[in-house]
Amino acid sequence: MAIRHFLDIWQLEASELREILNLAHSMKAARKGWPKGRVDEGAPLDGHILAMIFEKSSTRTRTSFDVGIRQLGGTSIVVNSADMQLGRGESIGDTARVLSRYVDMVMIRANDHGDVEDFADAASVPVINGLTNRSHPCQIMADLLTLEENGLDLKGARLAWVGDGNNVCSSFIHAAPKFGFTLAVGTPDRYVPDDDDIELAREMQGRVELYSNAEDAVAGADVVIADTFVSMGDTDADERLEELEPFAVTEELMDLAQPGAKFLHCLPAHRGEEVDSEVIDGPNSLVFEEAENRLHAQKAIMRWCLDK
């Protein structure tokens, strides 16, 4: 069997993505009310080691993967890339070949998406993308799990992304054709999503609509999604905050969506910038369920990668 990397949502079959979400739903239900440190029934990844490499900061990804592998019966090693020989010129390929001799699976958060692809090409164990400049696929799996738990049928649903057409937005674009929802994206011209992502989704018959204002994107949406206006690695914070300000999610903007429309944000959030407190702390916000579901979705992703 080919090595099962989890690098981008567009690379998996819709049936495989469905299988992962179903597994996440059932594993979450099976351990309802358990202490967080108890190992899942059958310890499906008993004896397996996950290495995590971080080139950028993380609260959720780091903790949820670490807890997740333990709940599956395995163990983890977390490394800051600056502490590795990578920083002194060792190649990505050699690093991948060496780590593949020690561990069963590697999760990487990197600045450059190409580095994660190069790592996966050289690795002989599964590699998981824990966020790059281009995408954040684990986040979107957790988000879709959250929406389904809250009763949304993804097929035919209308999701609105407003703000920066960034890495998280790209993974939503990749997911639209796979799960059958429409994604309406509202961004300023300067911060539109990458053309390649739009083209990719449309080649897969994805329904992705682009708007140059937040109001048209949000009109009639079942879900409104925001993210920071300044991602890790962005160097033009002042320009971004000014240009993206009209794309902030306010209660007035939410009023244009379906009554009771849900609000998502991958966190960390900046109240008063991309979203108002009344929205993110309001009754239709799912942000903390979303954060919890990183754990459940990623456990299913790790099991899929190892076919266990």
Q: Which residues are annotated as a binding site for carbamoyl phosphate?
A: 58-61, 85, 109, 136-139, 266-267, 294
Partner interacting with residue 67 (select from ligand NVA, ligand CP, none; CB below 5-8 Å by kind)? none
* Binding piece for ligand NVA, criterion CB under 6 A, among 112-120, 161-169, 236-244, 280-288: 161-169
| Cβ–Cβ < 8 Å for 179, 144 | yes
Across 202-221, b (16+ Cβ under 10 Å) vs e yields eeeebebeebeebeebbeeb
Mark whether 136 is an active-site residue: yes
266 counts as binding ligand CP under rule CB under 6 A: yes
Mark whether 266 is an active-site residue: yes
Q: How many other CB atoms are found less than 10 A from the CB of residue 281?
A: 13
User: Distance from first CA to last CA of the chain, Å, rounded?
Assistant: 13
Q: How far is the CB of 40 from ligand NVA (least distance, A)?
A: 26
| Cβ–Cβ < 8 Å for 147, 262 | yes
Q: Which regions of 114-249 does DSSP assign to beta strands (E)? A: 127-129, 158-162, 182-186, 207-211, 223-226
111 counts as binding ligand NVA under rule CB under 6 A: no
Query: What is the size of the binding site for ligand CP (CB under 6 A)?
Result: 8
131 counts as binding ligand CP under rule CB under 6 A: yes
Polymer length of the chain: 308
Give me the half-sphere count of Cα atoms (radius 13 Å) on the Cβ side of residue 108: 27
Longest dimension (CA), the chain: 55
168 counts as binding ligand NVA under rule CB under 6 A: yes
Contacts to ligand NVA from residues 182-241, by CB under 6 A: 227-228, 231-232
Q: How far is the CB of 58 from ligand NVA (least distance, A)?
A: 8
Q: Name the CA radius of gyration of the chain, rounded.
A: 19
Annotated binding site for L-ornithine: 167, 227, 231-232
266 counts as binding ligand NVA under rule CB under 6 A: yes
Where in the sequence numbering do the catalytic residues fall?
Answer: 109, 136, 139, 227, 266, 294
Binding footprint of ligand NVA on the chain (CB under 6 A): 131, 166-168, 227-228, 231-232, 266
